[in-house]
Structure 1
Amino acid sequence: MMTFITEGAKNLWKDEEGLGTLEMILIIAVLIAVVLVFRKEIVKVVEDLISTAGSKSQEVFES
């Protein structure tokens, strides 16, 4: 009985089917966690970029 359980565990460990899907899910989960942790900083950077782009475009059109 113990060898059956051991062999089953070994086969489960060696089975790589669906591994790519699991890796993609883990990568997405980590990216979401990073975005949630640094949400305020990301919003600030994007707002700064948008305001800079807006002011630079005004300079181009005024010249």
Structure 2
Amino acid sequence: MRSYLSNIAARLRRDQRGATAVEYGIMVSLIAVVIIVAVTMLGGTMKDTFTKVQCDIAGAPHVYAENGGGGKASCS
């Protein structure tokens, strides 16, 4: 009985599936952090770019009101 239990314990120590799952989990979480940081940093710039494209399609000039408009881009 003791050899049977020690055999099972030895197999469990050699099993690396759990460690691999943890490594994949860490990689996925790091990728998520990078995406969140990139979206946060580029969010305002992307909004201004889409507003400029919207103004160009509508044929209106693109205005970026820094002081009076609270830093928001708009079409005038």
Name the TM tier (shorter chain). Answer: 0.3 to 0.5
Higher relative contact order (CA 8 A, sep 6+): 2
Normalising by structure 1, we get a TM-score of: 0.45
Report which of the two has the higher share of strand.
Answer: 2
Report which of the two has the higher share of helix.
Answer: 1
Q: Which entry has the higher C-alpha Rg, 1 or 2?
A: 2
Normalising by structure 2, we get a TM-score of: 0.41
